Structure 1
């Protein structure tokens, strides 16, 4: 069970999907979830990057910058990027949403828990090349005392497919010869 706002956007995605494998970007009408728009984002897919195509006010304010074109993976702790990218690649291929239970980290203040939804979408080309997303805090944002997020950290990744037993589990990863996970 997730936060009601996360559940609402998951249900919306499933409703738009209907009997098809995946909803198209054109099936998504932001007017259907106006109260969530500040927390909503849309990512594109360009090679190994996931650039923001759209970021709601809350998302941009949390990171204290305009995120359009910015790679979403760069907002996450370096040690968690490969794990997150792998989970999103699986979600894209399986055409199923994933919810990341995360911590918002900012210097000098306690972290704040958050759910981050990534729901894959089909682009105009017919490829699964986008994600509809949601930042849903699950703790008091006041704990950040107005500080922008320095990074997001993965606590747990929860795929929403029918059978998650065979999802890959990251054990050890290296980047340029250094152990990162």
Structure 2
């Protein structure tokens, strides 16, 4: 089974495309790869921007397992071990949970682009949510890869 190329791929940052291509290569004819198929040594430059979330069968639903160093710096803290509801990073817990749930329901990658203003500049953010499955059917982990970059200065 090959995953068709989504519409967003061509317009994405080259690192988002590279991560998507890596994930797709690890599918090896399956709907999605397992966590064990992902070798951190293969994606070393991307690790600071990676978040790994466990999908759990209790009220927490999504739990941060691993947070890359750049993601920790951006958040201002390390949410490892906390549920997404406790330590979400986004507009609202509901909007963040909806993205994770979409990945679980569709068993397919989810891409988003969000440009926003911080104090003195505009930041462009792209996030890629990639499903992982130990049994090839049920999503049990989600790998999130994020790119954040300054778009341009607001103040001269």
TM-score scaled to structure 2, two decimals? 0.76
3-state SS of the aligned residue for 1:19? Answer: coil
TM-score scaled to structure 1, two decimals? 0.67
Q: Does 1:75 align with 2:75?
A: no
Q: Among 35, 43, 54, which residue is 1:44 paired with?
A: 54
Alignment gaps of 5+ in structure 1? 144-181
RMSD of aligned Cα (Å): 2.6
Alignment gaps of 5+ in structure 2? 1-10
Question: What CA distance in whole angstroms lies between the structure 2 residues aligned with 1:72 and 1:10?
Answer: 23
1:54-101 Cα distance to aligned partner (Å, 9 max, x none)? 1110000111111201333522222xx434433432322222101121
**Are the structure 2 counterparts of residues 120 and 35 from structure 1 closer, same or farther at C-alpha, using a change threshold of 3 Å?**
same
**Are the structure 2 counterparts of residues 109 and 67 from structure 1 closer, same or farther at C-alpha, using a change threshold of 3 Å?**
farther
How many aligned positions are there? 140
Question: What CA distance in whole angstroms lies between the structure 2 residues aligned with 1:68 and 1:127?
Answer: 23
Partner of 1:17: 27
